[in-house]
Amino acid sequence: MPHSEKLPPAQQPHLRAPDAARLAEASGLFSMLSDPTRLHLLWLLARQEADVTSLAEQCAASRTAVSQHLAKLRLAGLVDTRREGKHIVYTLSDGHLRRFVLEALSHADHRVSGKAPHD
């Protein structure tokens, strides 16, 4: 049995060959992830939903800068929002993004720490 058949459906890779639209969409994702502050925000949101103030405190950036990065992430469709009283709460848009961000930073951890890579 191939490895992907053992995974739950949500974790199985989509096996369609990428066309120009899919390559452009993935390239746009990489572009959004290329900024360290945005990547940090996505990592924080992969762990739990949060508002701007909480995110600014956790990533050591100004509230204004965090708001601007979140606006870009929202326009790119990578984060969703909901109102909770006077606060806007941010969440990641989907599980693919959550796993992608966590895997990217796990890969970085191996590179920085010198730990052997693994599957």
CA–CA separation, 105 vs 103, rounded Å? 5
- Give 43-82 pLDDT, tens digit per residue: 999 999 999 999 999 998 999 999 999 999 999 999 999 9
CB 52 within 8 A of CB 89: no
CA–CA separation, 54 vs 15, rounded Å? 38
Q: What is the reported pTM?
A: 0.84
- Give 5-46 pLDDT, tens digit per residue: 566 665 666 778 899 999 999 999 999 999 999 999 999 999
Domains of the chain: 23-113 (1.10.10.10)
